[in-house]
A and B are shown apart, each in its own frame.
Chain A
């Protein structure tokens, strides 16, 4: 008489929506890495002189670059939103018996994100 061991298929995550969303969240890291490589290439082209850099800038204006950027943006935004929404679970702050509401903690990060984005845009674009 033996206990029965059920095998978990490697496609376990396709069976329920929460698992699919989890997997998408994890896969955002690939797009994060992809953009890191892009930035690195951008800086490298900068070291190769004005002509090479200019060609790269022109390539950035191509449809395929725009499409890849947009896809990357969707995934990176999903990373940002899931990241900020999960942070209040980790950063638990109490005032006496009351816990600071999770929405307030997450909200602080969203506000910080907008502020930092504005600063980065101002620095990079010089506007």
Chain B
């Protein structure tokens, strides 16, 4: 008799439910299956109405983030065998409004990603003309920010962050890490432009360094470190502004 295991999945149908419910599904247990395989099996063979996001199945697209036993994970990266034979509880990522089943509204996150100005900003008149060639950057200079460029926008960090769960006005780990990616890029001159958002009360200063964002990040971006480092640089700025107010910005 083939082995099975149970998935208890959060269900919400906005057209008929006022409250979400949980539904238990029994799926085959396969050694090499990940949770996403089990969910796809449910959709294909048991209940076609189950709604969820997924794409690459290999941990690079950032689509399939869900809560597995209250821990944010990519469903394509969580193996059934790590939970077997216990029942797995599956919910949409914490901190976001739920649209349907495991699909959450990510508009807030998308807005923050754009507001952080995630592109190289050059000061007025300092754009290098094309015929002068590329901006040169050494491997050492790349090493300084490369980690922060690895973000796949999976939002597991937001789901792990209790500050964001309590207050969605918090700019959040991924957005700040992305800001730091550009702040630390030697080709960029836009740090001051991003500071309005990063150094605001809703930016780095709402973070209490719980550190779970970095713990759950599938790409080792370490957004917590990005935020704390921004606290240091912003504090240095603040003291400079206070002690040397006449200094050139």
Is A19 positioned at the interface, with any CB of B under 8 Å from its CB? Answer: yes
Which residues of A64-102 have CB atoms within 8 Å of chain B's CB atoms? 86, 89-90, 92, 94, 96-99
Alpha-carbon distance between A99 and B210 when the two chains are bound, in angstroms: 23
Is there contact, CB below 8 Å, between B229 and A4? no
Question: Contact between B139 and A4 (Cβ–Cβ < 8 Å)?
Answer: no
A16: chain B residues at CB < 8 Å are 70-71
Segment at the interface with A among B36-44, B97-105, B121-129:
B97-105
Bound CA span A18–B222, Å? 16
B59 CB, nearest partner CB in chain A, Å = 22
Whether a CB of chain A sits under 8 angstroms from the CB of B182 is: no
Q: Which parts of B81-104 form the interface with A (CB within 8 Å)?
A: 94-95, 97-99
Q: Number of B interface residues at 8 Å Cβ cutoff, please give it.
A: 33
Residue numbers in B under 8 Å from A89 (CB-CB): 222, 224-225, 228
> Which B residues between 185 and 215 are near A, CB-CB below 8 angstroms?
208-212, 215
Whether A3 contacts B70 by the Cβ 8 Å rule is no
CA distance A94 to B71 in the complex (A): 33
Question: Does A58 sit within 8 A of B, measured CB to CB?
Answer: no
The 8 Å CB contact of A4, one of B14, B212, B215, is B14
- A38 within 8 Å of B (CB atoms): no
CA distance A8 to B161 in the complex (A): 12
**Main SS at interface, chain A:** mixed
A1-B15, A22-B210 as given contacts; A13 in contact with B97, CB under 8 Å: no
Q: Which one of A4, A8, A22, A97 contacts B166 once the chains associate, using CB atoms below 8 Å?
A: A8
Find chain A residues with CB under 8 A from B70 CB. 15-16
Q: Which residues of the partner chain A approach B14 to less than 8 Å between Cβ atoms?
A: 1-4
Q: Known contacts A12-B162, A19-B210, A90-B228; decide if A4 and B20 are in contact (CB<8 Å).
A: yes
B165 within 8 A of A: yes
Q: A3 contacts B225, CB within 8 Å?
A: no
Contact residue range for chain A? 20 to 34
Task: Check A4 against B209 for contact (C-beta < 8 Å).
Answer: no
Subset of 25 A-B contacts with CB under 8 Å: A3-B98, A4-B14, A4-B19, A5-B97, A6-B94, A8-B94, A8-B95, A8-B162, A8-B165, A12-B166, A19-B162, A19-B210, A22-B211, A86-B228, A89-B225, A89-B228, A90-B225, A90-B228, A90-B229, A90-B232, A94-B143, A94-B144, A96-B140, A98-B143, A99-B143
A4 touching B208 by the CB < 8 A rule? no
Q: How far is the CA of A8 from the CA of B19 in the complex (A)?
A: 15
Q: Which of A3, A15, A22 contacts B105 (CB 8 A)?
A: A3
Contact: B98 with A6, CB < 8 Å? yes
Does B12 interact with chain A (Cβ within 8 Å)?
Answer: yes
CA distance A99 to B98 in the complex (A): 41
Collect the chain A residues with CB atoms within 8 Å of residue B12's CB.
4
Complex CA gap A4/B193 in Å reads: 35
Give the residues in chain B near A4, CB-CB below 8 Å. 12, 14, 19-20, 97-98
Chain B residue at smallest Cβ distance from A99:
B143
Interface residues of B in 134-175 (CB under 8 A from A): 139-140, 143-144, 162, 165-166
Of the candidates B19, B99, B140, B210, which one forms a contact with A97 in the assembled complex, judged by CB atoms under 8 Å apart?
A: B140
